[in-house]
Amino acid sequence: MYNIQKAVSRLDYAPKLKEIQITDIKKGLGVFTPKPDQAVSFAALKAALKKAGYALDSAEITVTGTLRREGDGWVLIVDPVGQRFALEGAGLDKMLAGASSDTRVEIVGNWTTVGTGASAREVITPRTMKEAGNVTTSPTTGATSITKTNVVRFMPAGFDALHEGAFPDALEETATPTLTTLPLAPIRTTTPGLTVYQGGAVTPRLYVIKQHLGDLEVSRQVLDVSVSYTPTQKLQLEAEVPVSRTSFDDGVTSGSGVGLGNITLWGKYRFFRTVKTYGDRQAAVRFGVELPTGKKSAPGEARLNAPAFVRQQLTPISGGLSPHFDVTFSQAGGRFIFGGNVEGVIRSERDGFHAGHELRVNTDLEYVLLPRDYDTPGGELFAILETNFVRRGLGRVGGGAVPGSRSTEFYLAPGLQYAAAPRFVIEGSVQLPVVRNTGAQVLRTDSNILLGIRYLF
């Protein structure tokens, strides 16, 4: 919904974004009242939606103006800009039988632009017509006003996704979506969606993590803030900045530390999309580079009696400069959404340490719980179940491989996501271990709670 509103609001004649309303989600209907001092154009509306990745199916317009006979045809002149609408269509003569020039009428009908460039003209095929109120003139300023302003109702072939990876936000063919509104995303699984065209999102997330290894208990709180921007229909840019606080206690000594983690820069390209009624499929690739910006100092051996590889895991980083490669896919139908991604991370050493190369495989299953009777957007509640598989290779410390540093882990992560407002989303999930085949020097994750919000701009 927000993506549609943002696209339409860029028109010269469009009102403020909040005044552009989606009135029927299942039928894909929206409505807005153009600025009274600007001429309107169906072609411009269609182009604005297409530029944002939408196909405009049809538009209906309600116009109050003055009839005028021109040759064998009729036009409607709309003040105060004097815009002309040609009236055409079967049954027009019958509808206008007995009408005379200079009669003020309100016409409701299908709207389009015929021709291009200098020869373009706005055309209405009337559905209904009735006499309208008169133009009033201010006795002090002489300015005129119209008792009925233009109202445009449009039906895009595709809307923003209720789930940004579920329903159409960029269509090349006509489809009738359902349950379409705010672009959301899975919580822990990469989505192929692109959030908001020529806009983006700010997403702060707090992770509360509990780990252990023998008698060593570790607690982490990670605040991860990502900012994304979508400059084109297929490309999204993102920066991810984590800050971590880690505390440990082995029953003999304890300590804590706070530091910046490695900043990651991302670029995502959506290369595939196919649309069907009540859903769609799409896929994207994402490339990232993890920069060596994080705090690298670990507790010394005098402070914690543990191997160097274990102590290094208490820092906010897993190594140095590291490229990421990610492929993601999603499919939606009705209230169900399924997605998944595969990501590879090639770790490099930083001061002789890295935690091992990684392979990650995630899946995402979602169901729209609320609202059950879904006509207008707002208040959507998603039930989410994600799975997370992580395979880490041999780690290194001081230039040498570390025995017991490999791990294979599998987690389930149930969660909820709530669209509290058109631009504001609240989400949360808890990640629980199912399989932890970890080496003798790898911290074992007991739980990982995620709380986050998302704000679209």
Q: pLDDT tens across 209-224, in order?
A: 999 999 999 999 999 9
What pTM was computed for the model?
0.74
Chain centroid to CA 289: 22
Read off the amino acid at residue 194.
L
Residues 381, 271 share a domain? yes
pLDDT tens for 37-93 read 899 999 999 888 877 767 787 889 999 999 999 888 899 999 888 899 999 998 888
CB 312 within 8 A of CB 356: no
End-of-domain residue from the set 156, 189, 221: 156
CB 227 within 8 A of CB 244: no
Residue carrying structure tokens 């998302």: 454
Residue carrying structure tokens 């029927």: 24
Residues 423, 316 share a domain? yes
The pair phi, psi for residue 390, each rounded to 5°, is -130, 125
Q: What is the pLDDT of residue 387?
A: 98
Q: What is the pLDDT of residue 374?
A: 62
Give the list of residues 6+ apart from residue 289 with CB closer than 8 angstroms, or none. Answer: 264, 265, 321, 322, 323, 324
Residue 166 burial (CB count, 10 A):
33
Residues 212, 358 share a domain? yes
* DSSP state at residue 308: H
CB 411 within 8 A of CB 420: no
Q: Can you read off the two tokens belonging to residue 283?
A: 């896929």
Q: What is the pLDDT of residue 25?
A: 63
Give the list of residues 6+ apart from residue 373 with CB closer than 8 angstroms, or none. Answer: none
Tell me the C-alpha to C-alpha distance, in Å, between residue 297 and each of 250, 260, 350: 19, 11, 11
* Three-class DSSP category at 2: helix
The verdict on residue 192 lying in a domain is no
The verdict on residue 171 lying in a domain is no
By CB neighbour count within 10 A (0-12 exposed, 13-18 middle, 19+ buried), where does 394 fall? middle
End-of-domain residue from the set 156, 179, 212: 156
Residues 211, 116 share a domain? no
* DSSP state at residue 443: P
pLDDT tens for 23-51 read 766 666 788 889 888 999 999 998 888 77
pLDDT tens for 222-265 read 999 999 999 988 999 999 999 999 999 999 999 999 999 999 99
Distance between CA atoms of 168 and 371, rounded to whole angstroms? Answer: 20
Q: What is the pLDDT of residue 418?
A: 94
Residue 305: give its domain's CATH number. 2.40.160.40
The verdict on residue 174 lying in a domain is no
CB 59 within 8 A of CB 44: no
| Domain membership of residue 92 as a residue range | 2-156
The verdict on residue 380 lying in a domain is yes
Which residues of the chain, if any, have pLDDT below 70?
Answer: 1-3, 24-28, 53, 133-150, 155-184, 275-279, 374-378
Tally of structural domains, the chain: 2
Q: What is the pLDDT of residue 321?
A: 97
